[in-house]
């Protein structure tokens, strides 16, 4: 039996474990990336490990999230990250150089390599034929120190693409169709692998749009083959030396299969408040809109920008619509400024934002009250835009630009003939905003610069044998990391200060939770299905850790958040019988006895609530059990490094 493409790369990087579905395997990571919203904590953790120089082939620290700098906090974090990078062997992408995933695709990604990033949209690299996985900052810190990354050997979904996209239908519509069919839970425990004749019709940036938003499926990652289109892209970037052809074996076997005929797709939109709430644009046409935001790591490539410029050329945005455009990288911004496309956008009334994440993470451009916002982004969770009662629709750049002109949701197929806009034969390359680290001989001369907003890692302790704690919060299904630890311009600057940021933990659901949890000292949280979907932010585990949360009991977990809870030493427990969810209420006391012994040896964990016993499962690996007993991954890593 042959191997899938994903299996080939995983097997080539296997360092521990049995290569069998459902088993835990450890893989070597060739590259890492961080961004500044998660990077400060990742580097605090890395420095705490005491490893002098990173041991990866390439590690890059990007500044792209917290770029407003409305106070000293962001600037201090950037300075700290830059100094750690310079000292410890990490390349530093300065503010203004672009969004991590766009820049990494352009300048560092390579077929057949493994990449772990402290951002959930790291699978963007799958557009180049990489195994690129989003994870918590501590997992990235361990990888930088030379440690392996542990995952459950995933199942593989084969998505066969047939045909060719019709005019005005884009890669964004492909991934929206996948989300429509599979849902935000449909990829949990899977890698999504694209193949078929339709793959050859998609450029690397288009493939990257699809793999980027595969994160919304809950998938471990998504991947495309490395072929002549991959070589064309790398040649245009002046990096053809890293090219290797890669594809699945003809007799590879998959766990699930999906067939999509590209020629049958039409412009789609994800309606509020979930990326899988997908409808055809034609059904929404004529709906009044208030805002269009074009950009993000999903749709900010050179070709995306050129399509927008073509649509806006010689026209003016509807006066009732606010249009913003954020090119994904300095490379893209430079190229559209040189060829005149930027002027076309400006003349049409677009507000040009810096090459950063911006509105996607609630960093500016919040819509008006009850506003309808069309965004080319990847998430439309309630309140993520910064306006709680806004309705956010996820669309392609073509749909957003067309709608900005009319003031209503508009099917771009009404625009007439679509121009042929292709990837350039040669991109403009200027890496002057990527600062290299000093040599190992010079590293002792570099001082790590720490501002007053940078606090340490929360205190951790080995797992207790017995535990009697109240339930401090009960929530429902599909709780996102934006619910647990909100983003936005007011909260993101606190990412390096866990005591301060914890004051905002779960306030989207219950404003009284942080004070209540802190006063209780120790507690558990109860939730429903797909708990922790969305961002990779480990702060959604670190803030509860600081507030004394000892366990989270739910019907099911999203992959990255479950891993982050384990890393933080918080027990990720699931109801053996989902109906038992109804037997625990907020305020109830939950008793655990013999915890350490059960965690060590396996078996059900029994919780006593209101005189009744509830059976809970701890579905984790042997290594994870050791991490839980130690009190978290940082303690576990320190112990093993000392040995």
Among 396, 523, 535, 556, the one annotated catalytic: 535
The verdict on whether 119 is a catalytic residue reads yes
Instruction: Identify whether the C-beta of residue 18 lies closer than 8 Å to the C-beta of residue 11.
Output: no
Give me 437's structure tokens: 């680290």
Among 13, 65, 88, 107, the one annotated catalytic: 65
Q: Is the peptide bond before 579 cis (omega within 30 degrees of 0)?
A: no
Q: For tokens 């299969």, name the residue.
A: 257
Q: Looking at residue 207, what DSSP letter applies?
A: H
Which run of H or of E encompasses 385?
none
The verdict on whether 180 is a catalytic residue reads no
Q: Mapping DSSP to helix (H, G, I), strand (E, B) and coil, where does residue 256 land?
A: strand
Partners of residue 16 on adjacent β-strands: 26
Each residue of 11-46: b (16+ CB within 10 Å) or e?
A: eebbeebeeeeeebbbbbbbbbbbbbbbbbbbbbbb
Instruction: Identify whether the C-beta of residue 380 lies closer than 8 Å to the C-beta of residue 270.
Output: yes
Spatial separation of the C-alpha atoms in residues 461 and 439, rounded to whole Å: 37
Q: Looking at residue 332, what DSSP letter applies?
A: H
Angle at 481 between CA 296 and CA 524, to 5 degrees: 175
Instruction: Lay out the sheet containing 155-162: strands in order across.
Output: 221-223, 190-195, 155-162, 256-261
Among 104, 379, 504, 561, the one annotated catalytic: 379
Among 537, 539, 561, 625, the one annotated catalytic: 537
- Pairing label, strands 221-223, 190-195: parallel
CA dihedral 469, 475, 477, 483 (to 10 degrees): -110
**Residue 55: Cβ within 10 Å count:** 15
The verdict on whether 166 is a catalytic residue reads no
Give me 537's structure tokens: 């932010």
Q: Mapping DSSP to helix (H, G, I), strand (E, B) and coil, where does residue 523 land?
A: strand
The verdict on whether 65 is a catalytic residue reads yes
Closest CA to 262 of 312, 210, 211: 210
Spatial separation of the C-alpha atoms in residues 180 and 158, rounded to whole Å: 16
Among 30, 119, 173, 580, the one annotated catalytic: 119
Instruction: Identify whether the C-beta of residue 121 lies closer than 8 Å to the C-beta of residue 54.
Output: no
The verdict on whether 417 is a catalytic residue reads no
Spatial separation of the C-alpha atoms in residues 313 and 347, rounded to whole Å: 8
Instruction: Lay out the sheet containing 24-27: strands in order across.
Output: 14-16, 24-27, 149-152
DSSP string, 345-397: HHHHTPEEPPSS-GGGGTSS-PPPTT-EEEESSS---TTTTS-TT-EEEE--H
Among 13, 36, 59, 64, the one annotated catalytic: 64
Q: Mapping DSSP to helix (H, G, I), strand (E, B) and coil, where does residue 241 land?
A: helix
Spatial separation of the C-alpha atoms in residues 84 and 43, rounded to whole Å: 7
Give me 143's structure tokens: 């990888």
Q: Mapping DSSP to helix (H, G, I), strand (E, B) and coil, where does residue 311 land?
A: helix
The verdict on whether 535 is a catalytic residue reads yes
**Catalytically active residues, by annotation:** 64-65, 119, 379, 535, 537
């Amino acid at each position: 039996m042959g191997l899938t493409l994903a299996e080939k790369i995983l097997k080539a990087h296997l360092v521990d474990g049995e290569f069998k579905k459902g088993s835990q395997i450890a893989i070597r990571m060739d590259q890492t990336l961080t961004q500044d919203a998660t990077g400060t904590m990742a580097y605090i953790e890395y420095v705490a490990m005491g490893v002098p120089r990173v041991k990866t082939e390439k590690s890059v620290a990007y500044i792209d999230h917290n770029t407003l700098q409305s106070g000293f906090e962001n600037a201090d974090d950037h300075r700290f990250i830059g100094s750690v990078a310079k000292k410890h062997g990490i390349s530093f992408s300065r503010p203004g150089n672009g969004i991590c995933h766009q820049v990494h695709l352009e300048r560092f990604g390579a077929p057949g390599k493994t990449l772990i990033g402290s951002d959930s949209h790291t699978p963007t690299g799958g557009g180049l034929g990489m195994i690129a996985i989003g994870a918590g900052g501590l997992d990235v810190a361990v990888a930088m120190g030379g440690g392996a990354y542990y995952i459950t050997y995933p199942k593989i979904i084969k998505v066969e693409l047939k045909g060719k996209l019709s005019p005005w239908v884009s890669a964004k519509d492909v991934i929206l169709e996948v989300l429509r069919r599979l849902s935000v839970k449909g990829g949990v425990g899977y890698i999504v692998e694209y193949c078929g004749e339709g793959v050859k019709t998609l450029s690397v940036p288009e493939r990257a749009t699809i793999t980027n938003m595969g994160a919304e499926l809950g998938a471990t990652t998504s991947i495309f083959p490395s072929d002549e289109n991959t070589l064309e892209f790398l040649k245009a970037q002046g990096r053809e030396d890293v090219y290797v052809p890669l594809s699945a074996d003809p007799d590879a076997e998959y766990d699930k299969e999906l067939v999509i005929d590209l020629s049958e797709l039409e412009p789609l939109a994800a309606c509020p408040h979930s990326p899988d709430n997908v409808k055809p644009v034609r059904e929404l046409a004529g709906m009044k809109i208030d805002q269009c935001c074009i950009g993000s790591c999903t749709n900010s490539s050179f070709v995306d920008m050129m399509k927008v410029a073509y649509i806006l050329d010689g026209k003016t945005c509807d006066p009732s619509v606010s249009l913003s455009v954020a090119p994904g990288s300095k490379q893209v911004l430079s190229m559209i400024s040189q060829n005149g496309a930027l002027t076309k956008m400006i003349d049409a009334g677009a507000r040009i934002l810096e090459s950063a994440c911006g509105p996607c993470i609630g960093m500016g451009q919040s819509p008006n009250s009850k506003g309808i916002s069309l965004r080319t982004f990847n998430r439309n969770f309630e309140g993520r835009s910064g306006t709680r009662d806004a309705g956010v629709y996820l669309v392609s750049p073509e749909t957003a630009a067309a709608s900005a002109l009319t003031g209503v949701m508009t099917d771009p197929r009404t625009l007439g003939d679509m121009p042929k806009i292709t990837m350039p034969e040669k991109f403009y390359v200027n890496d002057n905003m990527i600062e290299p680290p000093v040599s190992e001989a010079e590293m002792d001369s570099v001082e790590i610069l720490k501002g007053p907003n940078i606090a340490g890692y929360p205190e951790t302790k080995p797992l207790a044998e017995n535990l009697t704690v109240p339930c401090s919060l009960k929530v429902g299904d599909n709780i996102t990391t934006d619910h647990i630890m909100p983003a936005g311009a007011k909260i993101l600057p606190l990412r390096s200060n866990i005591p301060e940021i914890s004051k905002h933990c779960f306030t989207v659901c219950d404003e009284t939770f942080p004070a209540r949890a802190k006063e209780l000292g120790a507690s558990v949280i109860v939730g429903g299905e797909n708990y922790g979907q969305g961002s990779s932010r480990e702060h959604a585990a670190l803030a509860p850790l600081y507030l004394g949360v000892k366990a989270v009991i739910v019907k099911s977990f999203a992959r990255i958040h479950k891993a982050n809870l384990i890393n933080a030493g918080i027990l990720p427990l699931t109801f053996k019988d989902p109906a038992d969810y109804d037997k625990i209420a907020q305020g109830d006391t939950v008793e655990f006895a013999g915890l350490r012994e059960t965690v060590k040896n396996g078996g059900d964990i029994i919780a006593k609530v209101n005189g009744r016993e509830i059976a809970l499962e701890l579905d984790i690996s042997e290594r994870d059990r050791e991490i839980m007993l130690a009190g978290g991954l940082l303690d576990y890593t320190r112990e093993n490094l000392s040995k």
